[in-house]
Structure 1
Amino acid sequence: MRRKKMWALSLAMVLLLTLLGACSSGGNNAVSTSSSNTGTEGSNGEAAKPVTLRFSWWGGEDRHAATLEAIEAYKKIAPNVTIEAEYQGFDGYEQKIKTQLSSGTSADIMQLDLPWLQELVAKGDFFLDLIAQEGFDASGFDPDFLSNFGLYDGKLMAVPTGVNAYCLIINKTLADQLGIPTDIQWDWDTLYEQGKKLHEADSAKYLLLADQAALSQDFRTMLKQRTGEQWIKEDYTVGFAKEDAAAVFGWLQKAMEAGVYQPLGEADLFFGKLDQNPKWINQQMLMTTSMSSTLPTLKTVLPEGTEIITALPAIAKDAKNSGVVVRPSQLFAISNNSEHQEEAVKFLDWFMNDPEAAVILGGVRSIPPVKSSQQAAVNAGKIDAAITNAVDLGLEHAGIVDNSISTNSEVAKILDDVVQKVSYSKSTPEQAADELIASLTSKLAEIKDRTQ
């Protein structure tokens, strides 16, 4: 189901009416923490009944710790509510969420990735419409951001956890030691030249930290820069020619062979948890192309005092589009099957809008999407200036917004498989381009038949 930009105006009107109405009315982990809501008494003055909510998310240690601290703080507001925290790393989380949703066993509140939401709303009525909930205040969100990334058929199925930008995250302390410049606009040629030079000087060092997902994102970025178009069109056809894909695969293979990237067989031991890669921890890798929300976790594992900066990702000198992605860090949704929807809505409203929550959470999900929460976190010194810089640069140089089909998980799996073959030199760039186009064409026709 496609995102509906036309709903931005209607969403703004709904938010305005909501405000006017308010004025007139005057590994896997599980942790349980009791907490409570504004108004913990029933209408007859009796104490509210105990409620248990499940809250599921993925992330690194910084995100886990901050989220657990926020849950703990919430119990001062709602002592009748117990929040069971279900958290883990990224690997395996998507399949778990989709399995739970299909079986009706999902958490009350869950963190989702954007491509999953786009697929799930087309498959079933899994999520609560947050616009229709009196207990949720969406007025602090940018209406266009909500419309582009959370609104489907006029229903607000999810809200962004933060504003996230695709960027270079650079260990400047290490770069200075190695004499590698950081005050430049990186392009793909510069990445290759600097990476090859670094690895030739010290075979234990690599310029770029990347797992399978990062390599596939680099492919999509380079492709959009070459064509200036969506890599998958709205009509379910590929948006590039063979020569475009072959050129990008050629660069990736050349860079892998030159030691610009760590060999994929080593890097993917830490898939979805790049901060745990010993090469990064031991400062044998200089930078990574990632989303700004990953910066706190990547920085925490380095020695105290290490300076981490951000920059725009590599942009080809002749780019037709920047390819810079600006999107929600993740999304929060509430299950339609929740037995305690009202309490879940109140908790999510507090989590997104309350200044105390914002100060606790800081930048663990990048820049807060609610202006007042963002300001509270900045005033408290809880947002790393490097994250703010990444988001500011991303917003200034944002590329085309990915359409829904471009981020489909079945489509992504095809790309991942072909990129892997190229990375292991099991396929030439030309063979890979042919395979990618043929596999995508077949899969896209299948998806089109299912959805239209």
Structure 2
Amino acid sequence: MGKKVKEQAPDEYLLIVPVGDIISLIRIYMAQKTGLCVITDDYKVNFDEKLAQEALEYLMKLYENGVLVPFEETVATPEVTESMLWQNSKCGMMISPSSAFSNVLKNSNFEIGHTSIPIFKDAKDTAVEIRPAQIMSIYAKSKHITETAKFLNWLLGSVEAIEILKDTRGVPANTVTKKYLEEKKIYDPIIADITNEAIKIAGKPPSDLSFNSEIEKIFEDVIGMVAYKKITPAEGAKLLVEQITEKVNELKD
């Protein structure tokens, strides 16, 4: 489809993906192939050089065929809605978590629909991620654990709190507050649809390690070098496996 778009409209692209979300594309590709997170919570790296090279070659194919907006252009405009290509309707699709979708709707001057990520026919997992926009915890040595727990229960599960917060925390996981936002039309119905459909085809829960900032930085750096053709996908794959494995062992110790 992306090649057809380019053939019929040379100045347009099927997909625009900001640099930070390119990591998600690679992660999704690998998870669908293996059925596992790229790194599981037992500190196991679940991809090898062969799969990493395959994923990077696939990414480069998307760039070279004009399916994806060029890497250097998305570096210049990290927010999709700031891109003139997007605002001028020169891109057909983007990738966005539901928690950020309301911002996309507000900052786009045209109607937007939604669909799930592409899933390979032989995929071992959908790799559709369902995770909270924010995570809260209570300090184990706090003198006020009970009071804090009561406050968080109110904050995350009461209609009173959601009347104050509205959709600032994204789509609530709590069914009572989620239903309230839908009934009051506080967020666009399309966001509720996205969340409900994602739940139906959700993949395995992503691990915390998969989103570790140091690990994501390694992915980002290697992807950048491959995208700028400073190294080949094969060289990038070798570097990725070496650096990720080293970092995971460091975190484990």
Q: Is the TM-score greater than 0.5?
A: yes
Match of 1:295 in 2: 101
Q: 1:376 to 1:240 in 2, by over 3 A?
A: same
- Counterparts of 1:433 and 1:426, CA distance in 2: 13
Is it true that 1:286 corresponds to 2:74 in the alignment? no
Q: CA deviation at 1:232?
A: 1.7
Structure 1 residues 345, 445: closer, same or farther in 2, change over 3 A? closer
The count of aligned residue pairs is 252
Match of 2:10 among 191, 199, 203: 203
Residue pairs, 1:124-273, within 5 angstroms: 194-271=1-78, 273=79
RMSD of equivalent CA atoms: 2.7
Q: Give the whole-Å Cα distance in 2 for the aligned partners of 1:439 and 1:199.
A: 36
Deviation at 1:427, TM superposition (A): 2.1
Equivalent AA in structure 2 for residue 293 of structure 1: S
Higher RCO (C-alpha under 8 Å, 6+ residues apart): 2
* Structure 1 position 362, deviation (Å): 4.2
CA contact (8 A) 1:253 1:423 kept: yes
Do residues 376 (structure 1) and 180 (structure 2) align? Answer: yes
Give yes or no for contact 2:14–2:91 (8 Å, CA) kept in 1.
yes
Report the CA distance between 1:323 and its aligned residue. 0.6
Q: What is the CA–CA distance in structure 2 between the aligned matches of 1:204 and 1:444, rounded to whole Å?
A: 42
2:206 alignment partner in structure 1: 402
Asked if the contact 1:222–1:248 (Cα under 8 Å) also holds between the matched residues in 2, the reply is yes
Q: Give me the identity figure in percent.
A: 31
Q: For 1:355 and 1:279, locate their aligned partners in 2 and report how far apart those are by CA, in whole Å.
A: 40
Note closer, same or farther for the CA distance 1:334–1:363 as it changes in structure 2 (3 Å cut). same
Maintained 8 Å contact 1:366/1:387: no
SS of residue paired to 1:316:
coil
- What is the CA distance between 1:321 and its match in structure 2? 0.7
1:414 Cα deviation from its structure 2 partner? 0.9
Q: CA deviation at 1:348?
A: 5.9
Deviations 1:217-246 (A, max 9, x none): 000000010111221244434211222111
* Partner amino acid, structure 1, of 2:13: Y
Identify if the C-alpha distance between structure 1 residues 206 and 364 changes in structure 2 by more than 3 Å, giving closer, same or farther: farther
Change (3 A) 1:365 1:384: same
Mapped contact 1:264–1:423 kept (Cα < 8 A):
yes
CA contact (8 A) 2:102 2:187 kept: no
- Provide structure 1 residue ranges, at least 5 long, that are not aligned to the other structure: 1-193
The whole-number CA distance in structure 1 between the counterparts of 2:102 and 2:226 is 31
For residue 208 of structure 1, give the secondary structure of its aligned residue in structure 2: strand
Match of 1:274 among 67, 80, 97: 80
- Structure having the higher strand fraction is 1
Q: For the Cα contact (< 8 Å) 1:212–1:264, is it kept in 2?
A: yes
2:228 to 424, 429, 433: 424
**In the aligned structure 1, how far is the partner of 2:247 from the partner of 2:43?**
9
Structure 1 pair 242–342 and aligned structure 2 pair: CA distance change class (3 A): closer
Are the equivalent residues in 1 in contact too, given 2:81–2:108 (CA < 8 A)? no
Q: 1:352 aligns with which of 150, 156, 170?
A: 156
Q: For residues 444 and 350 of structure 1, do their structure 2 counterparts lie closer, same or farther at Cα, with a shift above 3 Å needed?
A: closer
Q: CA deviation at 1:350?
A: 5.5
Name the structure with the higher helix share. Answer: 2
**Aligned match of 2:127 in 302, 311, 323?**
323
Q: Which deviates more from structure 2 when the two are superposed, residues 363-372 or residues 432-441?
A: 363-372
Work out the CA distance in 2 between the residues paired with 1:231 and 1:341.
35
- Normalised by the length of structure 1, the TM-score is 0.51
Decide whether aligned partners of structure 1 residues 436 and 299 sit closer, same or farther in structure 2, where only a CA change above 3 A counts: same
Matched residues in 2 for 1:425 and 1:317: separation? 30
Partner amino acid, structure 1, of 2:126: S
Q: Any idea what the Cα deviations from partners look like across 1:342-370, whole Å, max 9, x if unmatched?
A: 99888766653443553565444332222
Q: Which amino acid is the alignment partner of residue 97 of structure 2?
A: M
